[in-house]
Structure 1
Amino acid sequence: MGGKEVLIKSVLQAVPVYAMSCFLFPMGFCKELEAIFARFWWQKSTGKCGIHWCAWQSLCTPKENGGMGFRDIGKFNIVLLAKQGWRLISKSDSLVAQLLKAKYYPTTDFMQSRLCANLSYI
């Protein structure tokens, strides 16, 4: 089980991090990823299903609270996007911040901007 924990945390949950820092994943896709992680965690061996003894959300709680410390993919996606928003605010002189400001919120700042039609997935 220790090897599975390391594999889930260091590989399976780390692979989509770059895409999650740029795009908002649909919650259905996040749940599907978590279902894959849970199946891998509970399986006995290759091709054999195991019994899911507790919900995945229980395993996502911190270790000091009795969980395994796995990431909730949906919440982690929001955190990574908030980090990008913070970069747009704190480093407004960067090229990407100037580009996004010119395209999406030319008359306001990032915090006062509103969603409008014809947006990209970024």
Structure 2
Amino acid sequence: MSYAAREVLIKAVAQSIPTYVMSCFKLPDSLCDHIESMISKFWWGSKHGERKIHWVAWKSLCKEKKEGGMGFRTIKEFNLAMLAKQGWRILQNEESLLTRCLKGRYFPRSNFLHATLGYNPSYTWRSIFLARLEIIDHAGLWKVGDGQSIKIWEDNWLPFQQGYKHNKLVKFLSLSINHQIALCGEPTKPVSSLSGQLISS
């Protein structure tokens, strides 16, 4: 079998069959490694009782073709991406049956981004929660509108700041006419003319 045919089989069959399961549950790392090992052996032509030399590392084969790889999926990362997509659906479709069930059980008084794991969670919720921690919380960024839903000290909303949030201690807060804010290591300067409603106890 040619390498072109093997590539098609790997992408269309081996890496597509577990897609539905990976969108609902976090697969164990050992299972992901086993799947990748079988795919790698198939790619290099290994058969029962016969092992061929793997000339290139699997991580290199998972790179995009323009970067010198074959464009194969890394099972662990693809699994987290599928679960993060479910989390995004929870954020976007608040009236869906899934969102209402999970909200009633795990975060009745908050939203998905500020939900906790809870007591005795189901494996589905545990998987989606892990994807939120690994992907959405780490790489997600708020697009600022009226600012009503953003917690400025906790949420990611600063696109040019490392970590997307404030990481400096507040030196002091001057409630003068312009409500000047001074941060550690920086000279005192007016950041913005804040109204009295913006700073509250």
- TM-score, length-normalised on structure 1? 0.94
Match of 1:91 among 76, 90, 93: 93
Q: Within 2, Cα distance between the matches of 1:78 and 1:112?
A: 19
Q: Within 1, Cα distance between the matches of 2:117 and 2:96?
A: 22
Q: Is the 8 A contact 1:43 1:51 kept in 2?
A: no
- Cα shift readout 1:60-101 (whole Å, capped 9, x = no counterpart): 000000000000010001111110000000000111111111
Moved over 6 A (4+): none
Query: How do 1:30-49 residues align onto structure 2 when only pairs under 5 Å count?
Result: 30-43=32-45, 46-47=47-48, 48-49=50-51
Q: Which amino acid aligns with 1:38?
A: S
SS at match of 2:9: helix
| Equivalent residue pairs, number | 121
Gaps in structure 1 of 5+ consecutive residues: none
Q: Which amino acid aligns with 1:118?
A: N
Q: Which amino acid aligns with 2:72?
A: F
**How much identity, in percent, do the aligned residues show?**
45
Query: How do 1:55-66 residues align onto structure 2 when only pairs under 5 Å count?
Result: 55-66=57-68
Q: Within 2, Cα distance between the matches of 1:103 and 1:35?
A: 38
User: Who is 2:185 aligned against?
Assistant: none
User: Who is 2:9 aligned against?
Assistant: 7
Gaps in structure 2 of 5+ consecutive residues: 125-201
Cα displacement (A) at 1:49: 2.3
User: Who is 1:76 aligned against?
Assistant: 78
Q: Within 2, Cα distance between the matches of 1:50 and 1:41?
A: 10
Q: Within 2, Cα distance between the matches of 1:115 and 1:28?
A: 23
User: Who is 2:118 aligned against?
Assistant: 116
Q: Within 1, Cα distance between the matches of 2:118 and 2:60?
A: 38
Cα displacement (A) at 1:103: 1.1
Q: Does 1:22 align with 2:24?
A: yes
SS at match of 1:22: coil
Q: Which is further off, 89-98 or 24-33? A: 24-33
- Cα shift readout 1:19-62 (whole Å, capped 9, x = no counterpart): 00000112221111100100111125x43321111111110000
Q: Within 1, Cα distance between the matches of 2:31 and 2:115?
A: 27
Cα RMSD for the two superposed structures: 1.1
Cα displacement (A) at 1:117: 2.7
Match of 1:50 among 49, 52, 71: 52
